[in-house]
Structure 1
Amino acid sequence: MASGIAPNMTPQLKRQLASVYPRLLVMSQEAEKHGLQNSPQYKEVMKFARMQILTNELQRSIQEEAEKVSQQDIADYYKKNPEAFEQYSLERLYVPLTKQAAEEAEANEKKDSEKEPEKETEQPEKAKQEQDEQEMSKLAESLRARASAGEDFAKLQKEAFTAAARKVEPPTVSMPKVRRTGLPSSHAAVFDLKPGEVSVVFSDAGGHSVYKLVSKEQVPLDQVKEEIRGTLRTQRMRDAMDKVQNSFKTETNEAYFGPAGPGGMRQPPPRIPHPTAPGAPGQPPAQQPPAAQPPASKPD
């Protein structure tokens, strides 16, 4: 029974199932003696439970099929997607968006947010911040030109942080073993560079970035086999589930649900226990169940 409910059931859940099973067996037999299995409510609940169980079985079957990834499947995927397994060694120059002084002024302004700011001070501070941002943007372009001319990235990184009045140590410029998923998609053009080339300046809310492509290599198949296996498994499961879920369209009769609740929001539907979840009807509870109580004696 345990393997039917959940093939990978833990020993703890098996023990819980064993403790609750006798009570469920006896009480279900007693319910049948009372003919409760013939009630309309029982039939509706069983109808819904059957759908849930079959849904779980379908998901389990799809997962088992998706697990069948052969060595040939892995090799074919590796061959068809060479870019996904390229590994790059980069150097990155990071230029902050603003100077430290401007950021501190903004922090102080937030601390005094309860006080109504005076327009006379707001305008100069805003203008100062915009000026700082323009200066840092120009600095990024200047440092990028020097990097392209062959200057050391670590030296340029220190200059960038000094110009930004940063008191902390500048970040390391070395970025070894970077895959295409290791950078923001907006910076993906870096991977099209040739070794030794320097990128344009990438500017976003986080600051300005300049990259140098140091080297590029292909990750051996043996090192990415499990990664590819997981990718194929996930793709197959997603494709199979999408095929089922996209095969129907749901239309609801709004009159059945009645008027919306307060604020125009309908009340959420009641939570129905998962048929194979601990605590669901016929399943071991999440906590140790109480001992079965003897039936109350009938009055004379």
Structure 2
Amino acid sequence: TISKEQFEQLINAVVPKARRTEMPNNMKQNMARQLGQLLVMVHAAEQRGLEKDPEVQQRLKIQRDSALAQALNVKLQEDATPSDAEIDKYYKDNPSAFEEVTLQRLFIPKAVASKDKPVDATTEKAAAEKLHARAVAGEDFDKLQKAAYVGNANPQAAPNTQMGGRRRGGLPPDQEGAIFALKQGGVSELYDTPGGYTVYKLIGKRTVPLAETKDEISRKLQQQKFKDAMTALTGSAPITLNEAYFGKEEAMPVMPGMGSMPMNVHRMPEQPPSAATPAPPAASKKPVKPKTQTPPPPPPQ
């Protein structure tokens, strides 16, 4: 018989704290069944004296070492949790990271050339420049977007011009600086991309308040502090292989049966696996039909 206390001790040992309250009942039931089967097998193994086998003893030692390494992993993560003062300092020291622009975007698609219908790039660019000039003159972006898709095979595919808020890192690197430098109501230059031409209009600009980004900063600082702690720890004891025994060092594939080795103990703890993992779908035996060429889609919103 397994008592409630024993079972909860098991859960506390294998499930991260942040995930314990989220565990569904069927997952607990599955763990209980697996624990019961495990104890039956352990009892049978002890009756056969298998714990005295040198190979078994070595595996038990490896599992102990792995458990200790994983415990240290969790402890280092907990210790890496930043203070409010650290979060506030990061926010004040990195003002540009929290600049946000609200944009509209006009996307002018390029036609797809074919043997029967070649594309005149010069004419296409001239048409895009005319739409850009209308945008600079203050014409409505929604109206211009519809005009850009009048000759498209699917006029209804015209994308929404509203992009919402974008922070640094959320726009193409070669365009970002100029877009953030726009004044309210300003229109960007005409950008030539593989799929089409793009024009941006700056609707507004703000600094994201600390209250909205505190959790994001906390995660970023925690990950960096955790990484620094692991680098300092592993760097304090460099590992050198005996080339006379191991041969010239090279990349090594994962070996079967080594799953319990503490090879990745420096990773952040992960969510425990689901109680029931569905089997992967069987590979289809149907032949794959070649896809017909379609116009490139507009850039993601």
TM-score class normalised by the smaller sequence:
0.5 to 0.7
Distance 1:138 1:249 in 2: 62
Shift in Å, 1:142: 3.1
Distance 1:246 1:155, change over 3 A: farther
User: Counterpart of 1:151?
Assistant: 139
Distance 1:195 1:159 in 2: 24
Distance 1:16 1:139, change over 3 A: same
Distance 1:254 1:150 in 2: 75
User: Counterpart of 2:180?
Assistant: 191
Distance 1:181 1:72 in 2: 25
1:98 matched to 2:107: no
Q: SS at 2:156's partner residue?
A: coil
Shift in Å, 1:49: 1.6
Q: TM-score, normalised by structure 1?
A: 0.66
> Structure 1 regions of 5+ residues with no counterpart?
107-121, 258-265, 277-284, 288-300
User: Counterpart of 2:87?
Assistant: 74
User: Counterpart of 1:282?
Assistant: none
User: Counterpart of 1:227?
Assistant: 216
1:48 matched to 2:37: no
After superposition, residues 190-269 of structure 1 pair within 5 angstroms as: 190-244=179-233, 248=238, 269=255
Q: SS at 2:164's partner residue?
A: strand
Distance 2:111 2:71 in 1: 56
Shift in Å, 1:41: 0.8
Distance 1:268 1:237, change over 3 A: closer
AA aligned opposite 1:270: P
Instruction: Check conservation: 1:90, 1:214, Cα contact below 8 A.
Output: yes
Match of 2:256 among 249, 266, 270: 270
Shift in Å, 1:29: 5.4
Q: SS at 2:192's partner residue?
A: strand
Shift in Å, 1:162: 2.2
> Structure 2 regions of 5+ residues with no counterpart?
1-8, 263-273, 277-301
Give the number of equivalent residue pairs. 245
AA aligned opposite 1:6: V
Instruction: Check conservation: 1:95, 1:136, Cα contact below 8 A.
Output: no
User: Counterpart of 1:167?
Assistant: 155
Distance 1:26 1:244 in 2: 40
1:142 matched to 2:130: yes
User: Counterpart of 1:298?
Assistant: none
Identity %: 35
Distance 1:210 1:20, change over 3 A: closer
CA RMSD of aligned residues (A): 3.7
Deviations for 1:168-212, whole angstroms, at most 9, x for unmatched residues? Answer: 253332333232243233331211222232222222223211112
Distance 1:155 1:27 in 2: 72
Instruction: Check conservation: 2:87, 2:214, Cα contact below 8 A.
Output: yes
User: Counterpart of 1:261?
Assistant: none
Q: Which moved more, 1:157-166 or 1:207-216?
A: 157-166
Instruction: Check conservation: 1:62, 1:240, Cα contact below 8 A.
Output: yes
Shift in Å, 1:18: 4.4
Deviations for 1:105-153, whole angstroms, at most 9, x for unmatched residues? Answer: x5xxxxxxxxxxxxxxx4x65xx13x2x333223223322332233332
AA aligned opposite 1:203: D
Distance 1:176 1:20 in 2: 49
